Amino acid sequence: MLCLVIGATGYVGARLVPRLLDAGHDVRVLARDARRVAARPWGDQVQVHVGDVADPAATAAACQGIDAVFYLVHMMDATGRSEFRQRDLDAARAFARSAADAGVARIVYLGGLQPATGPNSAHLASRHEVGEAFLASGVPTAVLQAGIVVGAGSASFEMLRHLASSAPLLPMPDDAYHRIQPIAIDDVLHHLLACLDLPPQLNAAFDIGGPDVLTYRDMLVGYAEVAGYPLVGVPVTLPVSPAAAARAVEAVTPVDRHLAGPLLESMAYDLVCHGEPPTSVPPGGPTPYAEAVRRALAAEGAAGPMPADPTGFELVSQRVEHVDAPVAQLWGVISGIGGRAGWYTVPGVWALRGKLDELFGGIGARRTRPDRLEPGAALDWWRVEAVEDGRMLRLRAEARLPGVARLEMRAEPDGPRSRYVQRTTFEPVGLPGRLYWYAQLPAHAFVFAVMARTIAGVAERRITRPG
């Protein structure tokens, strides 16, 4: 069967494509950027049509000869504009016409669980409207309505994961006590593939979920238990606007506020299954929530992260210095850093930092300089993570820290001169990591500012003059 996947580089799509290939199906993808497809492990095993789902000409070409379509895109993933709901619906209707004209035999759409009665959030209403548009298209459609998808890289799961690890006491608004029926990513993939075996004329919506009906508080505490974090949910009734809540989530998770906002609005409703899945249950039965979390943390199969997934939360500090020297001269200073040359900052500060690290069982301020800068090489208390000769050096700290610290140094052209870009990042682990970052921030800002200015100055003084 020739299957077209819309949203193949997204969270679910990137995991569905290899499952389709393993099942013996041929796969075509419609993508705006062919490079993102090529970067996937399966990129050379699929047909690629370059285009936008909102472009009728692109969708008409992509649908030619297709047996089944998996439609896995939502406009709110790509824009923070308020009109995402209309954009989503317009794109779905236009695509449905392309599919009908091309004689596509089946559309499979992944939507969201809906409240049993009453009002709805804009996010959930949009998914419902798109599903209805496909069901009314004349092309036999299976609409799968799922709750929170549990797996590393899922926006809802990453938001939950980072919130659960942010503090041992977490304020819980009233919406945190609404019920939700989460589902493991492996179970979602099972149901998507099973839709290819539905009766040819079947046209209906189905709810899919795991075996556990939980509150959002239950999910946060349950995640913390599996991950080994202490977490107590504290009920609060503080009035917080959706925009403020979304910005707060963006501050402590890798989820953008434009995506967090609609997800948070959906917390105001009970979202549980009211019907049966379209076909058989997954092998071994639906995956319990705790097991789905364990698989995500253990990076097992589809539950593990992929390179493009928003799994890491980074605290970032960056400095840029304009250097009156060519790029090659600046790179010479960057590539010669460490060892006897030192780190071009406040004298004695790294030696003191090394002594403190030794007290806590770390490696200290060892003086090790490799013959060649290459990934994996030790450079004092850092490990080389990536090198672009003449341009970039990225290091990962090996000191004992409540998180992962990196230092990236770049030499960029700036006309006949150059620009030095120094970027420090920290991926905190739990509350101790966040407290460490903010406690050290003033000292780090001073130390790394001195380092940036000194590196720029050294590069300028080393300019070779004709003689």
pLDDT at 426: 87
CB 76 within 8 A of CB 84: yes
Per-residue confidence at 85, pLDDT binned at 50, 70, 90?
confident
**Is residue 367 over pLDDT 60?**
yes
Indicate whether 237 pLDDT > 60: no
Mean pLDDT of 101-113: 96
**Do both 292 and 367 map to the same domain?**
no
Residue 467 within any structural domain of the chain: no
* Parallel, antiparallel or unpaired: strands 106-112 and 68-71: parallel
Indicate if the pLDDT at residue 44 is higher than 50. yes
Q: Which domain holds residue 61?
A: 2-303
Evaluate whether residue 296 is within a structural domain: yes
pLDDT at 335 over 70: yes
Confidence at residue 398, expressed as pLDDT on a 0 to 100 scale? 87
C-alpha to C-alpha distances, 294 to 150, 332, 450, nearest whole angstrom? 10, 46, 44
Residues 160 and 215 in one domain: yes
Calculate mean pLDDT across residues 345-362. 68
CA distances from 107 to 4, 49, 68, 135 (A): 9, 18, 6, 9
What is d(CA 365, CA 343) in angstroms, rounded to the nearest whole number?
12
Same domain, 37 and 137: yes
| Under 8 Å between Cβ of 6 and 28 | no
Strands (DSSP E) contained in 402-458 are 403-414, 417-428
Q: Are residues 329 and 285 in the same domain?
A: no
Please report where in the chains the tokens 């089944």 appear, as a residue.
Answer: 68
Q: Supply the CATH number for residue 12's domain.
A: 3.40.50.720
Predicted pLDDT of residue 17: 97
Residues 323 and 438 in one domain: yes
Is 54 part of any domain? Answer: yes
* Same-domain status, 450 and 342: yes
Q: How far apart (Å, rounded) are the C-alpha atoms in residues 44 and 35?
A: 11
Q: Is residue 69 a part of any domain in this protein?
A: yes
Look-up of token digits 């030794």:
358
Residue 309 within a domain: no
The verdict on 131 and 34 lying in the same domain is: yes
Domain stop point among 270, 303, 336: 303
Whether residue 198 lies inside any domain: the answer is yes
| Of 57-61, 233-237, 337-341, 409-413, the least confident | 233-237
Q: How far apart (Å, rounded) are the C-alpha atoms in residues 338 and 330?
A: 15
Q: What is the mean pLDDT of residues 15-33?
A: 96
Q: What is the mean pLDDT of the chain?
A: 86
Residue 110 has pLDDT above 80, yes or no: yes
CB 114, CB 145: distance < 8 Å: yes
Structure tokens at 194: 């099973």
Phi-psi region of 322 (alpha: psi -120 to 50; beta: other; left: phi over 0): beta
**CA-to-CA distance for 449 and 427, rounded, in angstroms?**
20
Q: Amino acid identity of 235?
A: P
Distance CA 181, CA 271 (A): 6
pLDDT for the residue 56:
93
- In this prediction, residue 434 has a pLDDT band, given cuts at 50, 70 and 90, of confident
Which of 244, 278, 303 is the last residue before a domain boundary?
A: 303
- The tens digit of pLDDT for each residue in 128-154 reads 999 999 999 999 999 999 999 999 988
153 sits in the region (left: phi over 0; alpha: psi -120 to 50; else beta) called left
pLDDT at 140: 97
Same domain, 296 and 323: no
More confident position, 87 or 137: 137
Looking at the fold, whether 45 and 192 belong to one and the same domain comes out as: yes
Distance CA 222, CA 224 (A): 5
> For the chain, how many helices (H) and strands (E)?
14, 19
| Max mean pLDDT range (19-23, 169-173, 257-261, 399-403) | 19-23
Identify whether the C-beta of residue 98 lies closer than 8 Å to the C-beta of residue 136: no
C-alpha–C-alpha distance, residues 311 and 461, integer Å: 42
Cβ contacts of 128 within 8 Å, gap of 6 or more: 111, 112, 114, 120
Q: Are residues 354 and 296 in the same domain?
A: no
Least confident of 233-242, 255-264, 368-377: 233-242
Is there a domain that residue 308 lies in?
no
Q: Can you give the CATH number for the domain in which 416 is found?
A: 3.30.530.20
- The domain tally of the chain equals 2
Residue 382's CB is within 10 A of a number of other CB atoms, namely: 23
Same domain, 296 and 357: no
Pair (139, 199) in one structural domain: yes
Q: Looking at the domain assignment, is residue 89 inside a domain?
A: yes
Task: Indicate the residue type of 449.
Answer: A
Q: Which among 278, 303, 328 is the end of a domain?
A: 303
